[in-house]
């Protein structure tokens, strides 16, 4: 799975990438405040749901950051 996560805060992209890496995802911060996440799974629906849940929890701790998953 490959997902692009757009943030309105460039510094937050690095922080999110570190948090995703700590959660056993492969994530890197990219220019334009985009974190790219890669994971191997056979169940893409479950992977999207897991990522969406993680992002919702992370965003709750960072209320000034707008997070968009695409």
Query: In which element (H, E) is residue 14 found?
Result: helix 10-22
Please state whether the predicted TM-score (pTM) of the whole model is above 0.85: yes
* Domain locations along the chain: 2-69
pLDDT in tens, 43-60: 989 989 999 999 999 999
b/e string for 23-46 if b means 16 or more Cβ within 10 A? Answer: eebebebeeebbbbbebeeeeeee
Confidence of residue 32 (pLDDT cuts 50, 70, 90): low
Average pLDDT over residues 15-30: 90
């Amino acid at each position: 799975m490959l997902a692009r996560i757009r943030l309105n805060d460039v510094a937050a992209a690095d922080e999110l990438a570190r948090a995703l890496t700590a959660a056993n995802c492969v994530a890197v911060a990219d220019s334009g405040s985009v974190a790219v996440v890669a994971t191997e799974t056979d169940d893409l629906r479950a992977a999207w749901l897991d990522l969406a849940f993680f992002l919702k929890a992370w965003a709750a701790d960072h209320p000034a950051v707008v997070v968009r998953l695409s």
